[in-house]
Amino acid sequence: MRNVEPTYQLPIYVEVHGRGRPVVLIHGFAGSAFSWRYWAQDLARDHSVILVDLKGHGSAPAPRDGRYSPADQADLVYRHLVHESLSDVTLVGHSMGGAVALLVALRCLDQGEARVSRMALVAGAAFPQPLPPFIKMARGPLSRMVVRLVPKRRLVRRILRSIVHDPAGVSESQVLGYSEPLRRPEHQIAILETAAQLVPEDPEAVTSRYAEIHLPTLLLWGDHDRVVPLWVGERLAEVLPNATLRVLEDCGHLPPEEKSTESLTVFREFLEHNP
C-alpha cells in the first residue's frame, strides 16, 4: 500500500493499493474509504485500487470554504485523475459518490478525454428524489446542535440501522468506522455543508445529459434500498445507453457491506465482461 499525499493542494485524501488497471472507489455521504473495506483488499490482487476520501470526509481536509456540492467533489476527483495521468479507469461511486462519478464522466466528455473506460454506480444518487430522514436532519435548523451534542456512536448506529435491510447486522466496528471522523468539529461542519448542497439548483441540467454517457455501466442496487430507491437504478438503466442493472435481494443501501461477497462477485463479473 502507498499513500498519495495531497502535495498539489487538493483537499482530498487518497490511498492506493495493488497494481494493475485503476479502479477508483468513491464513497457516499458521511462515508469514507472505510465503506469499501470488503472490496478493496480483494480487488487489489489484480488492480490498482484508488480509495478516495472526499473533501470533508474521512481523513481528507475539511476547509471552511463552503464548497461541498457533488459538483465541487467531482472537480477534485477529476483533477486527481489528471494530475496522476490516470487512464482506462473504472470509476465506482456509492450513493452520493454515484452522483460524483456521473459528473466526473460528464467532465471527461466535455474535455474530450477517454480517461474513464467503465463505471459502476452502487445505489447511486442520480435524480431528484425525497430526501431520507438523516439528510433532512442534517439540513435542519437544529443540525449543528444535534451533531455536536448527541454521542457520535449513538447517532451513527441509529442511521446505519435505518438504511440497511437487517438492522441486527450492524456491527460495533462498523459504527466505530463511520463515527470516528465525526469527532472532529471541522468534519462535522463539512458534513452539514455537504447535506445542504446535495441537491443542485438545476438538476435537469445534469440529468438531461446522462444519455451522453456511453460507458459500460453497472448499476448495482439492493431491493430494499430506502435511501436511493430502486426506481433510480431502473430509470438510469433506461437513460444510460450501455447500462446493466443488477439487484441484490434482501439488501438495503449498503451492498458492499451488507452483501460484500455477492456484490463483489457481481462487480468482478462486470469487469470481466468489459475488459
Rounded distance between C-alpha atoms, residue 217 and residue 241, angstroms: 9
- pLDDT tens-digit readout, 195-236: 999 999 999 999 999 999 999 999 999 999 999 999 999 999
Question: Per-residue confidence at 62, pLDDT binned at 50, 70, 90?
Answer: very high
Q: What's the mean per-residue pLDDT of the chain?
A: 95
pLDDT at 97 over 80: yes
Domains in the chain: boundaries: 2-130+201-273
Query: Where on the phi/psi map is residue 13: left (φ > 0), alpha (ψ -120 to 50), or beta?
Result: beta
Structure confidence at residue 8 (pLDDT): 59
**0.75 surpassed by pTM:** yes
CATH topology of domain 2-130+201-273: Rossmann fold (3.40.50)
Rounded distance between C-alpha atoms, residue 38 and residue 121, angstroms: 17
Strand ranges across the sheet with 13-17? 2-4, 13-17, 47-53, 21-26, 89-94, 116-122, 217-222, 243-248
pLDDT at 73 over 50: yes
